């Protein structure tokens, strides 16, 4: 697993390229980063109401996925996190599967348990948390049952 984190100003550009490659190849390129599986998360802009897509690694959690709003340890939450707080109905692309999901920020003991699991598999997240005063959010993406 790589220990390198890009400068904060480059993260949006790297993310845009990652999204394009993931979409073009249906996750064959960009479907894993540093050994972690990745998804595309499409949110609705809280101000623009336009769709925004980012590529994120995730931690499987039963029938759902947990993503981390780390933004490389920046002092502010990533835009996608603000978007899903304003509108928790999102779209997840996991390779070829595209599904609607509902986002929920985890809190309390549940967050702590999953945070320990995340940093066990990717210790960089612990360093990100140490470098910022904000609590880095963990977000569960659940698929509505029909």
- From first to last of its 146 residues, the chain has per-residue pLDDT tens of 455 666 767 777 878 898 899 999 998 988 888 788 999 999 999 999 999 999 999 999 999 999 999 988 888 899 999 999 999 999 999 999 999 999 999 999 999 999 999 888 888 889 989 989 999 999 999 998 75
pLDDT for the residue numbered 9: 76
Q: In the chain, where do the E strands start and end?
A: 32-33, 36-44, 51-57, 59-61, 64-68, 89-94, 97-105, 138-142
User: Terminal CA-to-CA distance of the chain, rounded, Å?
Assistant: 38
pLDDT for the residue numbered 90: 98
pLDDT for the residue numbered 76: 87
pLDDT for the residue numbered 3: 59
Q: Which of 113, 81, 95, 109 is nearest to 39 (CA)?
A: 95
What does each C-alpha distance from 14 to 19, 30, 55, 135, 143 come to in angstroms?
9, 11, 10, 24, 28
Query: Could you give the 3-state DSSP secondary structure of residue 31?
Result: coil
pLDDT for the residue numbered 95: 92
pTM of the model: 0.86
Token pair listed for 112: 């702590």
- What whole-number distance in Å separates Cα of residue 87 and Cα of residue 21? 26
Angle at 144 between CA 69 and CA 19, to 5 degrees: 40
């Amino acid at each position: 697993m790589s220990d390198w984190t890009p400068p904060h100003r480059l993260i949006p550009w790297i993310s845009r390229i990652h999204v394009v490659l993931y979409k073009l190849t249906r996750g064959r390129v960009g479907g894993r980063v540093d050994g972690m599986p990745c998804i595309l998360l499409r949110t609705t802009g809280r101000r623009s109401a336009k769709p925004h897509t980012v590529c994120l690694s995730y931690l499987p959690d039963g029938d759902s996925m947990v993503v981390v709003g780390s933004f490389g340890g920046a002092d502010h939450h990533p835009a996608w996190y603000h978007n899903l707080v304003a509108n928790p109905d999102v779209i997840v692309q996991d390779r070829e599967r595209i599904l609607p999901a509902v986002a929920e920020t985890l809190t309390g003991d549940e967050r702590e348990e999953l945070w320990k699991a995340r940093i066990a598999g990717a210790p960089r997240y612990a360093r990100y948390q140490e470098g910022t005063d904000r609590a880095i959010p963990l977000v569960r993406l659940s698929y509505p049952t029909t």
